[in-house]
Amino acid sequence: MSLAEGVLRGDVRATAKLISLIENQPEAAVADLQELHPHTGNAHVVGITGSPGVGKSTLVDGLAKRWRKEERRVGIIAVDPNSPFSGGALLGDRVRMQDLATDPGVFIRSMGARGRLGGLARATHNVIRVLDSGGKDVILVETVGVGQSEVDIVQTADTVVVGLVPGMGDDIQTIKAGILETADVFAINKADRPNARGLEMELRTLFGWNQEEEEDRWIPPIEMTVATTGAGMDELKEAICDHWDHLKRTGELQHRRRERYEAELQSVVEDYWRKRFFDYWQREGHWERVVEQVLRKETDPFTAAQQLVVPFLDSEVGG
Ligand SMILES: Nc1nc2c(ncn2[C@@H]2O[C@H](COP(=O)(O)OP(=O)(O)OP(=O)(O)O)[C@@H](O)[C@H]2O)c(=O)[nH]1
Ligand SMILES: [Mg+2]
């Protein structure tokens, strides 16, 4: 039985094994991912991002519990580009998500960077694929919102929730603009702290609230939450579900997915050609010799590139 078949039957061990393969030996996971692709597309992928400590894991925990109450099957992926570790839930999160960890309707996985081939964003996308085809209805992807790689990761989500907190010097000016722009829903967490309303006003002036209402234009709602007590959490979940309905109703879901597949296809094709090209020219020290020639001004990078690409393509056509 292939791992993919196991995943489709909802086998937890096959699922965990395939995810490890995706992380450690991505080429070896391709056949299973091919088998799974036709079975994907059902899950609502929700990205939760924000600066360190805004309460992402606590929000994820509260949201997951609410979906479990409706017997929705939930996948949780905590992506930390700064952590070298992958595997089960991170220690702190395992404590935080104790009830979920023992619930058979929930699958929790953390992913670290670990110099991954093809990038963390693509690995995350493939793990989402596994959980999606395995029958999860909602997949929550937690990632710290600091750099471009995190923007890429969060863009694999259908709905992006950006978590902010009042005070903490964490006002909008200091948050990476790219992250704010990806937001479909804002959660002002730790709303038990002072100045939550001030932050809300700041967001409102930034995000389309004074623009004219257009039909079917999604304006990111701003939800106030206290993840630790559950205040505002039902409303946050509602806002996320509203966005999902909006995506489906307006055709935006197909549009986003199309763009995502296009980007994925592009990067897979690029990797494929790059690998073939360098495999071809790195034999017998050829590549180094050309670099040396450029260095000695015997040729220039543009001429050299042409002289490398043409024979490579000929060799591909010939054999
Ligand atoms: N006062 C208050 N504390 C909260 C709230 N939500 C979370 N916390 C606390 O804030 C701390 C950080 O919460 P986490 O959920 O681990 O935050 P995180 O964003 O996942 O953190 P990283 O994954 O390390 O970036 C914990 O001690 C939580 O108990 C809230 O709404 N109010
Ligand atoms: Mg966390």
Whether 227 is in the pocket of ligand 1, judged by its Cβ within 6 Å, is yes
pLDDT at 69 over 70: yes
Q: What is the mean pLDDT of residues 210-224?
A: 80
Q: Quick one: 101 exposed, middle or buried, by C-beta within 10 A (0-12, 13-18, 19+)?
A: middle
pTM for the whole structure: 0.89
Q: Return the higher-pLDDT residue of 168 and 154.
A: 154
Distance 78 CA to ligand 2 centre (A): 7
pLDDT at 168 over 90: no
Q: Which two tokens stand for residue 310?
A: 């043409």
Q: What is the mean pLDDT of residues 297-303?
A: 97
Question: Residue 52 and residue 80: Cα distance in Å, rounded?
Answer: 10
pLDDT at 188 over 80: yes
Question: Residue 282 and residue 5: Cα distance in Å, rounded?
Answer: 38
In the prediction, which pLDDT does 126 show? 94
Q: What is the mean pLDDT of residues 18-40?
A: 94
Q: Return the higher-pLDDT residue of 266 and 284.
A: 266
Q: Taking a C-beta distance cutoff of 8 angstroms, is the pair 18, 29 a contact?
A: yes
In the prediction, which pLDDT does 291 show? 95
The HSE-up count of residue 137 (CA atoms within 13 Å, CB side) is 13
pLDDT at 148 over 80: no
Whether 195 is in the pocket of ligand 1, judged by its Cβ within 6 Å, is no
Whether 189 is in the pocket of ligand 1, judged by its Cβ within 6 Å, is yes
Residues paired with 109 in a beta bridge: 77
DSSP, res 151: H
Distance 174 CA to ligand 2 centre (A): 20
Mutate to test the pocket of ligand 1, among 54, 57, 58 (most ligand atoms within 8 A of CB): 58
Determine how β-strand 185-188 pairs with β-strand 159-164: parallel
Helix (H, G, I), strand (E, B) or coil at 13: helix
Q: Taking a C-beta distance cutoff of 8 angstroms, is the pair 140, 75 a contact?
A: yes
In the prediction, which pLDDT does 202 show? 84
- pLDDT tens digits, residue range 231-248? 999 999 999 999 999 999
Ligand 1 nearest-atom number relative to CA 78: 23
Q: Return the higher-pLDDT residue of 70 and 168.
A: 70
| Sheet containing 138-144: order of strands | 106-112, 74-80, 138-144, 44-50, 159-164, 185-188, 222-224
Distance 53 CA to ligand 2 centre (A): 7
Whether 54 is in the pocket of ligand 1, judged by its Cβ within 6 Å, is yes
Q: Taking a C-beta distance cutoff of 8 angstroms, is the pair 179, 145 a contact?
A: yes
pLDDT at 118 over 60: no
pLDDT band at 31 (very low <50, low <70, confident <90, very high): very high
Mutate to test the pocket of ligand 1, among 189, 228, 233, 235 (most ligand atoms within 8 A of CB): 228
Among all ligands shown, which has an atom nearest to the Cα of 54? Answer: 1
Highest mean pLDDT among 149-153, 218-222, 229-233, 255-259: 229-233
pLDDT band at 139 (very low <50, low <70, confident <90, very high): very high
Task: Identify the sign of the CA torsion 150, 155, 156, 159.
Answer: positive
Whether 167 is in the pocket of ligand 1, judged by its Cβ within 6 Å, is no
In the prediction, which pLDDT does 251 show? 95
Q: Give the whole-number percent of the chain exceeding pLDDT 90.
A: 60
Distance 67 CA to ligand 2 centre (A): 19
Task: Walk me through the domains of the chain, giving residue ranges and CATH numbers.
Answer: 37-250 (3.40.50.300), 265-318 (no CATH)
pLDDT band at 161 (very low <50, low <70, confident <90, very high): very high
Q: What is the mean pLDDT of residues 67-87?
A: 84
In the prediction, which pLDDT does 92 show? 58
Whether 192 is in the pocket of ligand 1, judged by its Cβ within 6 Å, is yes
Q: Give the whole-number percent of the chain exceeding pLDDT 70.
A: 85
Q: Return the higher-pLDDT residue of 123 and 139.
A: 139
Neighbours of 245 (CB within 10 A): 10
Distance 55 CA to ligand 2 centre (A): 7
C-alpha pair distances (Å), 266 with each of 178, 183, 317:
22, 25, 21
